[in-house]
């Protein structure tokens, strides 16, 4: 990836991260606990993908675009190590549903 592309990618990903954090705050303030938990988990999966599948590889390739500690340009949440390897075409996502495939479809 070209350096200027990496810079723009990081800027956009940080804005997305901030928007997702704002969504979580709005959800927590306005939705019942069960709905809030469902939505927060979904947003968390998106944030995980943005960091581990976009930002982290970009920082590895272009360390100069990684925000430094103490600057204002950083994600609002702290991310720990990846819980597992990213999904690939060879290793698709696991289904969390325990229902048979026919029961998962909506009419």
Per-residue pLDDT tens digits for 58-81: 999 999 998 876 555 544 555 455
| The pTM of the whole model exceeds 0.85 | no
Q: What is the mean pLDDT of residues 5-12?
A: 94
Q: What is the per-residue pLDDT across 29-63, written as a single tens digit (0 to 9) for each?
A: 998 888 888 999 999 999 999 999 999 999 999 99
Question: Can you tell me the distance from the alpha carbon of 37 to that of 49, in angstroms, rounded to the nearest whole number?
Answer: 18
Are 94 and 45 in contact by the 8 Å Cβ rule? The answer is no
Q: Which helix (H) or strand (E) covers residue 14, if one does?
A: helix 3-30
The reported pLDDT for the residue numbered 67 is 83
């Amino acid at each position: 990836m070209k350096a200027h592309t990496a810079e723009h990618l990081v800027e956009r990903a940080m804005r997305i991260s901030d928007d997702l954090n704002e969504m979580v705050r709005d959800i927590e303030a306005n939705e019942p606990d069960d709905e809030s938990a469902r939505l927060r988990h979904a947003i968390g999966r998106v944030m995980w993908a943005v960091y581990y599948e976009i930002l982290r590889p970009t920082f590895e390739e272009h360390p100069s675009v990684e925000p430094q500690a103490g600057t204002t340009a950083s994600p609002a949440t702290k991310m720990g190590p990846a819980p597992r390897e990213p999904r690939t075409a060879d290793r698709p996502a696991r289904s969390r549903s325990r229902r048979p495939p026919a029961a998962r479809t909506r009419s």
